[in-house]
A and B are shown apart, each in its own frame.
Chain A
């Protein structure tokens, strides 16, 4: 399946061990940058009570939700530790720092 990649900015727009969010018609996407300069995109919506994950503390390849401290894996979108639940991960391409996310997965998310 062909993917449409949409430019969202560059890696420098995101603070190290931080996140920004991208507004889409299907809701917000949280884009994370880890201490090791890896970049991940997931839904900005905690599987627990919908907390904005982009506002959490980023550590290793995970983020801790600001509302009730669930820890979500940035790679798989799954809750780590004792909690169960997952958010959708969103395909992200990093071309030398220029970042793109894939649209059709967004469209699918809307279904």
Chain B
């Protein structure tokens, strides 16, 4: 018999609980969720990377709309529950929806604390809790004016770093004498302050806010010493309060949080509570690891297993600001019964401190170098007696037992139950056994199966080391991770950082992202060149020396070192004049082979490099431009004859093909891009195996994408049906731009689509008109700089050196 389960709040805790529940007791409950936030379950932890630009909102969604549909879960977005009627067992939302329950789960999370000072409701004062807050900050940051962040804890500093990265002039006000005083000791707090100040963030400690001043909107902050700090944006990040109002009104036992037992049950037998709003054994929590433990327990109880009980454990804290390494765990206050071991390296900005009690670690602070965090955590958890290794303990695991080991050995030496992913409580043994049992080979698989590295991501390095350790040679991190041997960063990271750090030249990327080689290699340079062309179309100057020869000389190199030349024939249509011009060129340059290509144009093969400019000059006179048959860019738009001639044709497919090609030619893409337009579902232009295809039908245009007919063969997927030619154009262009911005260099559209999911692409291109328009506009902007015919440029002298030998020597001498 199915029971009715109602959940109030759709945050990370109930999301995880549902995952467990669907696994343990599928079909047991009919689930309804009410969420005051008008959206699905996303990774709140990752709001800071969204603020800094290192991630998009789309990338931090945990459960997309499809997930709820698949599991038959009803989600009321934007519905706040305003009353619980425990006698009738119903809840009612602010939009008037009433739903009855057999079991109710309260997961209302927390609300940010607003300090009670005058002016705290002025426009321009915001908190930092959800996506709306991030969007408000991003909007405010466009002004590049002054921002004040009140609160120098984890949240406040992540907000400050994000806003500073977005170009705002940021001041952090903190009441205590040092930053992050709850997680760091003063020494580490000092190093952190210095680092942030070095990034241009002003920090005022021991600052007591007296009032927020301004008429009609925020103009500044007044401190109790009379100082006024001007600001147009004030972010309050001074702490959170469990959100318990609703439970209290319903008469449930409430203390700081909603009181629950070790099985997450409240004082009412039909009601559970979990997440930040719940208080268990007198404790409330504000980090996800213990909340996920609550989720596990709650799911067990809902599935009928009452043996599970919540166990407290300390969670390490990390600050998610790129480039700052910081780790804090446990208790590190001074005390008579405590000893400490400290290591400092001023020049490297490293500080490490272990707090010991009776020869056991009870607290750890690491700053600047945190790779031993997992090991110290493990020693602490197991209360290992460290007397024997006391002398070398602080140097970390690699130094134990003789000579320093390589970093891989440190991971190899970790015991199976050592925790690798703090967010999801995943230990080494679990990761290793899942990799072996399930035959996993990529990081994404490991994330999907174990959840390790799937939340804040700070353990990704460790997880990858485990993969290398387990899979040995067969795990080729290059296939999933680093771009090439010059860096440890993967393509996605590099792309994100190029944007986030506004890197606009290849040397800037290599310097800022710490390339290991002086000027890259033949793998990373073309990729970087593309990413920069794509991201900064107006500012970046294409680096020809970083392009493969075909794109450098705008022709295709053949195996004998000669080149082939393919002029554009828009939509595959030509005429007598063009054909005559081609025939003349073939005669004049004695071109050995003329061939019709699969993309409906003509290929001239066997041309000497020195002849290329002259060939182009002649073709140019007849009106030809480069067909870019060599480019990681728009190649062909193949068409059938369509409604003008064909008795089956439903639309003017030739005309549309020509329009598309004229609109999109010249654009660079991650890999080659081939299109086709068929005038009816008989599909003579073979549009259903193209990167992007259009099938015309009576009612409009069916847009397809992600086909392949090369090494892989794959039919296209349907993006959607649109009514007019204009809409077809907008959708195709937007899709192309999304692909340009997101794919890895050399990744064809079908591989990219597989990686990020068809649903996601449909959601952005079909479902979200604003997004679509924004992609479209960015494409149009970049075309301003891209639509220059490379052949005519070279005919008029550009890159002359490419086509002539530097010198011709030796003939006279040899003849003598």
Contact = CB atoms under 8 A, between A and B. Distances in A.
Interface stretch (B52-60, B83-91, B598-606, B802-810): B802-810
B805 A15 contact: no
B517 interface: yes
Contact of B809 (A17, A23, A51, A69): A23
Interface string A1-40: 0001011110001111110111111101001000110000
Nearest to A8: B807
A24 B809 contact: yes
Contacts of B809: 6, 8, 22-24, 101, 103
Nearest to B486: A59
A17 B545 contact: yes
Interface in A86-103: 101, 103
Given A4-B813, A24-B809, A103-B813, A57 B525 contact: yes
Interface in A43-70: 49-52, 55-60, 64, 66-67, 69
The residue among A20, A31, A57, A106 with the most chain B CB atoms within 10 A of its own CB is: A57
Nearest to A66: B549
B807 A22 contact: yes
B544 interface: yes
A15 B806 contact: no
Interface string B791-816: 00000000001000111111101100
B806 A18 contact: no
Contacts of B546: 17, 57
A35 B507 CA distance: 11
A69 to B, nearest CB: 7
A6 B548 CA distance: 31
A60 B518 contact: yes
A54 B660 CA distance: 37
A9 B809 CA distance: 11
A42 interface: no
Contacts of B518: 35-36, 60
B807 A9 contact: yes
B521 interface: yes
A8 B519 contact: no
A14 B807 CA distance: 12
B548 A57 contact: yes
A14 B806 contact: yes
A17 B526 CA distance: 13
A55 B559 CA distance: 13
Contacts of A71: 521-522
A93 to B, nearest CB: 14
A64 B522 contact: yes
Nearest to A36: B518
Nearest to B799: A15
A64 to B, nearest CB: 3
B522 A59 contact: yes
Given A49-B559, A60-B517, A67-B559, A23 B808 contact: yes
B466 to A, nearest CB: 27
A18 B162 CA distance: 40
A8 B806 contact: yes
A60 B550 CA distance: 21
B561 A52 contact: yes
Nearest to A49: B559
Contact of A66 (B557, B801, B807, B808): B557
B11 interface: no
A97 B457 CA distance: 51
Nearest to A28: B805
Contacts of A13: 801, 806
A25 B522 contact: no
B813 A22 contact: no
B520 A59 contact: yes
Given A23-B805, A57-B546, A17 B519 contact: yes
Contact of A6 (B547, B557, B813): B813
13 contacts: A20-B801, A24-B810, A55-B553, A55-B561, A57-B521, A57-B548, A59-B522, A60-B521, A64-B521, A66-B557, A67-B557, A103-B809, A103-B813
Interface of B: 517-522, 525-526, 544-550, 552-553, 557, 559, 561, 801, 805-811, 813-814
Given A7-B807, A17-B546, A23-B808, 13 more contacts: A6-B813, A8-B806, A16-B545, A18-B545, A20-B801, A23-B807, A23-B809, A25-B810, A31-B806, A55-B549, A59-B519, A67-B557, A103-B810
Interface of A: 4, 6-9, 13-18, 20-26, 28, 31, 35-36, 49-52, 55-60, 64, 66-67, 69, 71, 101, 103, 106-107
